[in-house]
Structure 1
């Protein structure tokens, strides 16, 4: 059986572009502005730095300052500025992070706008990965950028795993993934959206009664199991439509008996049929 993240990572692969030092001004006051990308990863190796949202992103991003080394991940596409807080020099490595379509990946919705993990809180394998990355940056050998990117991907996956493991008891997808019984239900829906799931069959996956599953799932995730399943199917449907798949093929892949059935639910939930959504995306 897959673990709590594998199925979602198979649907939405995490990829980091070649990672490079962020050119910060030597003065303490000028900013470096980074545009909205699919997401951003920043690795602060040395020196204090401030991160702040730009324009409409300010309420979501806010303002943050770090004085010590840290991993900083913005999972969603949010423009922001970076400002050194000392004229003694700051070393910051940055790269765009691709984690599937931000509008379709439920993990991006579940994560905070700015996820921070200070270096001092990294232990075990994660601390070892950080050390390897810093050593690679300082050595600057062949394929330097690519090696840094792969190490950064491992570090980010370790940070994601730690975030999920620390979310037990919280409302939302991450909290539900940290509950063994609810995780089995979510994993079943994520892995087999085409299956004709019912509350009874999902309860069997969890080893719970239908009433207990309905109550616990809604309390943890915020919506009933059936509503989550419909939302997940529509996320996958949009992902497949974006790949150029026909509506009939998409309907079968996500558990609807006909294109008409998918179109009806798609229109009810999203306000327009699948063909209109795809035409608007092109």
Structure 2
């Protein structure tokens, strides 16, 4: 709740009029009404990322690349993660999926660990100027999030991007003059860099693109997405989500599908199933998971999870076949 302090004139009026409370109330009421209608009273901005970050629970580990040619699709015993490569000087050659591109500093590159991209330094002097971060996710929304990084994201850093440049400068300063707590500071800076990346992607959606970041960039669709991220177990229907977005049901459904590449119901179902699967993996049980994510009973949730796992296995098989057949 926001508390608004009335001006000193209001209190002076109350003292002046003494027991004439009606006159004082009228004065204060009209002042407050005019204040609320003025541009001085600004509504809080929509927080598009906090609920998503809670569902991701990112853990960033930041290191310096010392070996020539850092491979970003190497085997890792844990779940898929996000690679972040920060290039502060020189250039690197990005290769993978049949493409080759020269990337010049300063730049930030990000992609999923299961994508076969390779970075090769163009000179030995550039090796210590590449900072690498692995971003693992302890939250249930990791798989949905990593779908947005099936293709490499390349961001040319400029002085006009404070969300990214501030953590980059912090990292550079620490590397030039390391002090006590050096590893911990780098990892915390990595956390800030990750959040800065998300802010950048929301502020700069892909032109004619679609997906989560384009959805969060849309001021109307973002309201519905945040509502689902905050309360995935709430019995949302099309009318309720359209109301959150401030749109008619028809316009909301059409716009959501264009921006997100899927229907609102499918996206909400994906979130619920991801949370339910994580709860089951942690030993919570189907009944508790069903109650948490809004399924009618454990049997309905069990059928939905089985169907989702079968679809996921089929999709991984198709993607693996495409990678094998892609040109080097």
Work out which of the two has the higher radius of gyration on C-alpha atoms and give 1 or 2: 2
The gaps in structure 2 that reach 5 residues or longer are 1-43, 312-328
Give the counterpart of 1:182 among 221, 237, 247: 221
Give the counterpart of 2:93 among 46, 50, 57: 50
Q: Could you report, residue by residue, the CA deviation over 1:148-192 in whole angstroms, capped at 9, with x for unpaired residues? A: 121122122112111112117632222111112211111112211
1:53-202 equivalences under 5 Å are 53=96, 58=97, 62-90=99-127, 91-100=129-138, 104-111=142-149, 113-120=151-158, 122-167=160-205, 170-202=209-241
Offset, 1:113: 2.7
Offset, 1:237: 1.4
Equivalent pairs, count: 260
Q: Distance in 1 between matches of 2:125 and 2:140?
A: 37
For residue 3 of structure 1, what is the aligned residue in structure 2? Answer: 47
Offset, 1:112: 5.0
For residue 262 of structure 1, what is the aligned residue in structure 2? Answer: 301
Q: Given that residues 91 and 102 in structure 2 are in contact (C-alpha distance below 8 angstroms), is that contact kept between their aligned partners in structure 1?
A: yes
Q: Distance in 1 between matches of 2:165 and 2:211?
A: 28
3-state SS in 2 of match to 1:83: strand
Q: Distance in 1 between matches of 2:222 and 2:263?
A: 14
For residue 14 of structure 1, what is the aligned residue in structure 2? Answer: 58
For residue 212 of structure 1, what is the aligned residue in structure 2? Answer: 251
**TM-score scaled by length of structure 2:** 0.71
Alpha-carbon spacing, 1:67–1:212, altered in 2? closer, same or farther (3 Å)? closer
Alpha-carbon spacing, 1:191–1:89, altered in 2? closer, same or farther (3 Å)? closer
Q: Distance in 2 between matches of 1:239 and 1:230?
A: 14
Q: Which moved more, 1:203-212 or 1:93-102?
A: 93-102
Q: Given that residues 55 and 141 in structure 2 are in contact (C-alpha distance below 8 angstroms), is that contact kept between their aligned partners in structure 1?
A: no
Offset, 1:36: 4.4
Q: Which moved more, 1:239-248 or 1:70-79?
A: 70-79
Q: Given that residues 290 and 301 in structure 2 are in contact (C-alpha distance below 8 angstroms), is that contact kept between their aligned partners in structure 1?
A: yes
Give the counterpart of 1:237 among 271, 276, 285: 276
Q: Could you report, residue by residue, the CA deviation over 1:69-128 in whole angstroms, capped at 9, with x for unpaired residues? A: 222222343354332212444321223211347984322212353222223365334323
Alpha-carbon spacing, 1:67–1:22, altered in 2? closer, same or farther (3 Å)? same
Alpha-carbon spacing, 1:250–1:33, altered in 2? closer, same or farther (3 Å)? same
**TM-score scaled by length of structure 1:** 0.82
The gaps in structure 1 that reach 5 residues or longer are 26-30, 273-282
Q: Distance in 2 between matches of 1:237 and 1:87?
A: 48
